[in-house]
Homo-oligomer: A and B are copies of this chain.
Amino acid sequence: MKRSVCVICGLLLFAVVAHAQEQQFANIGDLKLQNGGVIRDCRVGYRTFGTLNHDKSNVVVFPTWAGGTTEQLKGSIGPGKLIDSTSHFVVAIDALSNGVSSSPSNSRLQPRMRFPIFSLRDTVESQHELLTKVLKIVHVKAVIGISMGGMQTFQWIVSYPDFMDKAIPIVGSPRLAPYDLLLWSAQLEALKRDPNSARALDFAFGELLLTTPTDYNRRKTREDVFADLEKARNDTKRFEANDKIRQVQAMMALDVARDFGAVKAKVVIVVAKFDHVVTPGPATEFAKLIGAKLIDLDGDCGHLETSCESRRLNEAVTQFLATDYTDK
């Protein structure tokens, strides 16, 4: 009897956990934007992992990278991963215009390029609405994000300095460096082309800059290059140029100095020395400015160094999240 109860408990627990990890949506109504515009009937996608403890003190917010979804964040959540969901209640949130949360590709009232230009400040606002009004969470243990998720993390700590105890922007930036602006300008130019050409160019920019030439040449043959490009050119599934355009515009407009007051969170900033997508200068300067600890990954995987050095990164994040600074 005892044994069968446990089986039932296990099944129930599995059902609860599995359900929690599923895609959920919150309708937060019209979202007023910094530029005066409005995202009508704004919907924010999210998934939760782990269990909220009784005093709601174990929440970790985890926004998506550019073009990414909370589905793709799953691989970074769990025991031994970037964020351990056995001790934390992780709220992974789909950034605006990622094709899951309100986006040019899915907005009924503001479809395609009628979807307004917004900022990462607005993206953070949509997440703050989700957390405070829908999930009734008014303070979190940490905000952690990778790449554009790191940019949102920088925005979080200046927009809502009292909202989190800790923050870890990973290969993100508080304001794009000239090189990054050039890169995204070129990508916007490429996205204007006809779909096949746009797909091929978009793919090529990713391949050329996400890692380093050394890493690319180690992984690819000369034949791979042409096969990969041909595949990208003909891959019609799920490439929403308009969604990407609006996210790129949001990244290019980012400048957290505009909202800058006293940063209250304990912050660890992670950069990659040979990152050719989010070059490490501005985040490094910001670390100095606020006296944050800087972790400088120096391998040749570039922007993807977070994968190549995942063990080192995961250990550093775990340790930082476990440290109780109130002791000091």
Q: Mark A194-231, 1 if CB is under 8 A from B, else 0.
A: 00010011001101110001101100111011100100
CA distance A279 to B211 in the complex (A): 14
CB distance from A84 to the nearest CB of B (A): 33
CA distance A205 to B185 in the complex (A): 11
Give the dominant DSSP class at A's interface: helix
Q: Which residues of A contact B (CB under 8 A)?
A: 176-179, 181-183, 185-186, 189-190, 192-193, 197, 200-201, 204-205, 207-209, 213-214, 216-217, 220-222, 224-226, 229, 275-276, 279, 281
Known: A220-B178, A225-B178. A186 touches B205 (CB 8 A): yes
CA distance A176 to B213 in the complex (A): 12
Is the pair B217, A178 in contact by a Cβ cutoff of 8 Å? yes
Is the pair B222, A279 in contact by a Cβ cutoff of 8 Å? no
Closest chain B residue to A175 by CB distance? Answer: B222
Contact among B179, B186, B189 for A217, CB-based, below 8 A: B179
Is the pair A182, B279 in contact by a Cβ cutoff of 8 Å? no
Question: What number of copies of this chain does the assembly contain?
Answer: 2
CB distance from A13 to the nearest CB of B (A): 48
Q: List 17 A-B contacts (CB under 8 A).
A: A177-B222, A178-B217, A178-B220, A178-B222, A178-B224, A178-B225, A179-B213, A181-B226, A182-B225, A183-B204, A186-B201, A186-B204, A189-B200, A192-B197, A193-B197, A208-B209, A217-B281
Is the pair A185, B204 in contact by a Cβ cutoff of 8 Å? yes
Closest chain B residue to A196 by CB distance? Answer: B189
Contact among B183, B189, B222 for A197, CB-based, below 8 A: B189
CA distance A185 to B51 in the complex (A): 49
Closest chain B residue to A228 by CB distance? Answer: B182
Contact among B176, B182, B216, B217 for A208, CB-based, below 8 A: B182
A224 CB contacts on chain B under 8 angstroms:
178
CB distance from A227 to the nearest CB of B (A): 11
CA distance A28 to B216 in the complex (A): 42
Is the pair B185, A217 in contact by a Cβ cutoff of 8 Å? no
A214 CB contacts on chain B under 8 angstroms:
279
**Chain B CB within 10 A, most for which of A185, A275, A281:** A185
CB distance from A295 to the nearest CB of B (A): 19
A193 CB contacts on chain B under 8 angstroms:
193, 197
